[in-house]
């Protein structure tokens, strides 16, 4: 079995039932698997992405950590389509706006959230001289992270 797969599995077994998150030490994990610490980052960036229903937070320095937050299994599945197909790797401001409004109309998210997301996604928020393609990529990532946040919020209630 590949190292990456083993690490992925190991991490997934760290969760207690119903716990929304686990915390780990990069160096400890790397030592446990006798691999380069950056290998952990590789696993995280390929298997614990928003598309997979996970969000990551971390801190450097003494007492540093990596925290992985997940949404419920069922929701993970149901949002796969939304995140991967509907948003994808890049999305225009226009398409993003349409998506937000549509989600609000169908009651998936609140109108307030839709407008807040829209504010973050509109062109003025990215008024800097970089290629449009970059902007669409950033927008997609931003949108996914926001949707994930809303999803996580819903699960806590």
Partner DNA sequence: CTGATTATGGTCAAAGATGGTCAACATCTT
Partner DNA sequence: AAGATGTTGACCATCTTTGACCATAATCAG
Main-chain dihedrals φ then ψ at residue 117, nearest 5 degrees: -65, -40
Nearest distance from C-beta of residue 13 to a second copy, angstroms: 20
Residue 60 contacts which entry, a second copy, DNA, none (Cβ below 5-8 A, type-dependent): DNA
Residue 80 contacts which entry, a second copy, DNA, none (Cβ below 5-8 A, type-dependent): none
Question: Is residue 122 within 8 Å of residue 143, measured between CB atoms?
Answer: no
Q: How far apart are CA 14 and CA 129, in angstroms?
A: 43
Could you give the dihedral angle defined by the CA atoms of residues 95, 96, 98 and 100, in that order, rounded to the nearest 10 degrees?
160
36 binds a second copy (CB under 8 A): no
Cβ neighbourhood burial of 122 (10 Å; 0-12, 13-18, 19+): middle
Distance of CA 149 to the CA centre of its chain: 8
Residues 91-150 that bind DNA (CB under 7 A): 92, 94, 123, 127, 129
Residues in touch with DNA (CB under 7 A): 2-5, 24-28, 35-42, 46, 56, 58-66, 92, 94, 123, 127, 129
Residues in touch with a second copy (CB under 8 A): 1-2, 5, 50, 55-57, 62-63, 112-113, 115-120, 122, 124-128, 130, 134, 137-138, 141-142, 145-146, 148-150, 152-153
């Amino acid at each position: 079995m590949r190292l990456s797969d083993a690490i992925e599995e190991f991490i997934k077994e760290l969760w207690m039932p119903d716990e929304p998150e686990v915390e780990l030490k990069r160096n400890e994990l790397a030592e446990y698997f006798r691999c380069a610490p950056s290998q952990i980052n590789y696993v995280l960036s390929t298997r614990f992405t928003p598309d997979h229903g996970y969000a990551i937070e971390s801190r450097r320095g003494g007492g540093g950590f990596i925290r992985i937050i997940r949404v419920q299994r069922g929701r993970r599945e149901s949002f796969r389509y939304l995140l991967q197909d509907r948003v994808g790797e890049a999305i225009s401001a226009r398409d993003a706006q349409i998506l937000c409004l549509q989600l609000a109309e169908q009651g998936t998210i609140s109108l307030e959230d839709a407008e807040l997301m829209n504010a973050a996604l509109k062109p003025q928020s990215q008024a800097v001289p970089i290629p449009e393609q970059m902007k669409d990529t950033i927008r997609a990532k931003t949108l996914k992270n926001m949707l994930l946040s809303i999803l996580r919020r819903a699960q806590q209630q």
